Structure 1
Amino acid sequence: MTSLIDVIFLLLLFFMLSSTFSRYAEVELVAAARGNAAIETPPLFVQLSPDAVTVNGLPQDLASLSLPEGEQRLLVSLKPDVTAQRLTDLLVALRRFNQITVTVLTSS
């Protein structure tokens, strides 16, 4: 019985040391709702690829992303090889802007 406890302890120790406890970015998602008020400005088109971000066709860096002031609508188009973590990084970078509405376009 003592050796079984030792084996269980060693397995517990192994799994605790081999697992990672890193926390990934969390993004709050809100379901789309029908709105009554229309935004006057045309939407910005953001194209996300695995190695680049373009806003209305102009390349930008994800760390220093800049958008016009005021209420904006963003349409985000994803290239085929974009990972979920890359999309999360973009959404985290967009958190610092106020009054933006993000719509992620999906292919059907």
Structure 2
Amino acid sequence: MPVRAARTRRRALSLTSLIDVIFLLLLFFMLTSTFTRFSEIRLSAAGAGASAPTDDARPLFLRLGAERLTLNASETTLDALEGEIAGLMDGTTTLLVSAAAEVTSQRLVDLLVALDGIPDLSVVVLE
């Protein structure tokens, strides 16, 4: 006599608990997320008809490297940069920033944040 294996019926998988878990995760991430900006950097693009600096105003030149920072061909640090620029400024001054190819965008942002606190300083980032 042949032995028959008991036939088990498969139940339909209920997705209700899975949807509840997804909803709870979505709710958790929405409530714990922060949508504020920690810091902002004001950038302005040169427009048509922008005037060139006068002959009297001598711009400062800053070269930004991955490890080095030079201001008018003298090496400096990011912490001492504000004091050195303040010593070289004569009224409203333009600072030309040249970034080397290996410079990360975070390093450039750190520099721009440090320069943002200097009054009467116009920063131009060269390509």
How far apart, CA to CA, are the structure 2 residues paired with 1:20 and 1:50? 31
Residue 74 of structure 2 is aligned with which of 58, 61, 74? 58
Structure number with the higher strand fraction is 1
Give the alignment's Cα RMSD to 1 decimal: 2.9
Tell me how many residue pairs correspond in the alignment: 106
Instruction: Provide closer, same or farther for how the CA distance between residues 39 and 8 of structure 1 changes in structure 2, counting only shifts above 3 A.
Output: farther
Identity %: 48
TM-score by length of 1: 0.76
The CA deviation at 1:12 is 3.2
Cα distance change, pair 63–43 in 1 and its aligned pair in 2 (3 A): same
| TM-score, length of structure 2 as denominator length | 0.66
Which residue of 45, 64, 75 corresponds with 2:61? 45
Gaps of 5+ in 1: none
Match of 1:26 in 2: 40
Moved over 3 A (4+): 9-16, 19-25
Output the amino acid matched with 1:49. Answer: G
Structure 2: 5+ residue stretches without partners: 1-14
1:64–1:49 distance in 2 versus 1, CA, 3 Å: same
1:103 aligns with 2:124: yes
1:76 aligns to what? 97
